[in-house]
Amino acid sequence: MIVEQIQLVDFRNYTSATFDLMPGVTAIVGRNAQGKTNVAEAMAFLATLDSFRRSPTAALVREGAEFATIRAAVRHADGREVSIEVQIQRQGRVNVQVNRQRLARTRDLLGVLRVTVFSPDDLELVKGAPGERRHLLDETLASLALKNDARRRELDRIVKQRNTLLRQAAGRLTDEVAFSLDVWDQKFAVVGDQIGHERATLVAGMQPVVEEAYQQLAGAPTAVSLVYEPPWRRSGLAVALAAARTDDVRRGASTVGPHRDDLEMHLGALPARTHASQGEMRCLALSLRLAAHRVISQTTGMTPLLVLDDVLSELDAERCEALLNHLPGGQVVITTAGNLPPVAHPDRVLRIEAGSMVASVATEDGDR
C-alpha cells in the first residue's frame, strides 16, 4: 500500500495544502511550529479516526473554520487506486467517503489504510501509565482485524455500564444488584477473555521483534522482555469477577479485567519504566512501534505507512544512523526541524512554512 498524496483543508494550521509522497522515503522539514506534527497527525487520523496526540476533534479543525478535510490517494499492491475523504466537524462528527461513496459505518475505514506513527510522546509507552501500553496493544489489534476494534469498544461499553450499576448500588450488594451484575458479568467475561487472549498472542508475537529492533537500534545485545500476565487470566475473567464482586461493590468500580491490565517491560533484568535511562526508553518505545509495524505487515500482508515524527532530534548520532539503516521496507515519512543526516537518503524533501508547502525537491540519488 502506497499513500501517493495527502491533502489537508482547514486541518490544524493548514488552510489548504497538498503533499505528494514517494513510495520510498519522503522527508518533511520545517522549523518548529510550522505544521510537521500536524501532517503526521492527519495521516494517522485516516488510519485510526483518532488523534495520536489525544486531542479533542475540535482542536483538529483550523481556528475559524467549520470543519476539516483530509484526503488521501492510496494505491494498493494489486494496483487498485482508492481515494479517501474524511471530514471532521468541530463537534466531533466524522464523515468518511471511500471512492466517493459514503461509508455507513465510519470505522470500516480502519482496514483501508494503515499507518504507524512514532512521535516523541511515545516515551509515555515506557514511562507512562498502563493505559498507554494497553492503547498500543489495542490499536495494533484493531489494525490487524476490525473485529478487535469492535470488541474493544464493546468492552468499554460494558465496563462503563457495570461501573454505573456499581455506583448506584452505593456499597450494598442486594439481590437486585447481584442479579444485574450476573447479567453484565456474563458478557464481560466473554469479551474480556477474548481480549486477554488476543493481547497475549500479540505480545508473544511482538516479543522477539521488539528485542531484535532494540538490539539493532542500541547496538548492544540487551535482552528485552515483555510480560503480559494479568492475574485474572489464570482463572479466567468469570471466576475473577466473582471473587472481586464484594470489593467491586464496596468501591463502586470494576477493579478486575482487561481495562486494568498492564504490559511490563524489562531491559536485561531491570523493569524499564522505573530503571531505564531516557535514551533507553526512547529506543524501547521506538522498538515497540517498529515491532507493531512489522507484525501488522506480516499478518495483514499490507505494509503500513511509517511516519517518524521528529525522531532524529531525540536520538544520538549512532542510534539515528542505526534507525535509518534498519528502516523496515515500505513507505516512510520522516519529519524533522533540524538537518537530515546523510544516511537518511530521502527520495523527496518537502519544506513547510506556516502551514504551506514552500518547496518540494525530488532527490534522484538521495543526496541532498
Ligand X SMILES: Nc1ncnc2c1ncn2[C@@H]1O[C@H](COP(=O)(O)OP(=O)(O)OP(=O)(O)O)[C@@H](O)[C@H]1O
**Options 3, 7, 36, 276; binder of ligand X; rule CB under 6 A:** 36
Q: Give the contact letters, 334-353, x = binds to ligand X (CB under 6 A), - = no.
A: ---x----------------
Question: Toward Mg ion, which CB reaches closer, 36 or 134?
Answer: 36
Q: Contacts with Mg ion in 37-56 (CB under 5 A)?
A: 37
Instruction: Choose among 360, 127, 304: nearest CA to 368.
Output: 360
30 binds, among ligand X, Mg ion, none (CB under 5 to 8 A by kind): ligand X
User: What are the φ and ψ backbone dihedral angles of 349, each rounded to 5 degrees?
Assistant: -115, 125
Q: Least Å distance between CB 67 and ligand X?
A: 12
Q: Which stretch binds ligand X (CB under 6 A): 55-63, 267-275, 288-296, 300-308?
A: 55-63
Number of residues that bind Mg ion (CB under 5 A): 2
List alpha helices for 95-174, DSSP H.
124-127, 130-144, 146-169
Q: Give the contact letters, 59-98, x = binds to ligand X (CB under 6 A), - = no.
A: x-xxx-----------------------------------
Instruction: Choose among 257, 24, 44: nearest CA to 142.
Output: 44
DSSP codes of every residue in 270-313: EEHHHH--HHHHHHHHHHHHHHHHHHHHHHHS-PPEEEEES-GG
List alpha helices for 219-271, DSSP H.
232-235, 237-251
The residue of the chain with the least Cβ separation from Mg ion equals 37
Q: What is the gyration radius of the CA atoms in the chain, in angstroms? A: 22
Q: Which stretch binds ligand X (CB under 6 A): 28-36, 237-245, 278-286, 298-306?
A: 28-36
Which residues lie across from 102 on neighbouring strands? 97
**Options 32, 91, 101, 274; binder of ligand X; rule CB under 6 A:** 32
Number of residues that bind ligand X (CB under 6 A): 16
Name the CA dihedral angle for 231, 291, 132, 38, rounded to a multiple of 10 degrees.
-170
**Options 34, 116, 143, 331; binder of ligand X; rule CB under 6 A:** 34
What SS3 state is found at 98?
Answer: strand
Cα distance between residue 127 and residue 122, in whole Å: 9
Q: Contacts with Mg ion in 18-37 (CB under 5 A)?
A: 36-37
Residues at the interface with ligand X (CB under 6 A): 12-13, 30, 32-38, 59, 61-63, 310, 337
Residues that bind Mg ion (CB under 5 A): 36-37
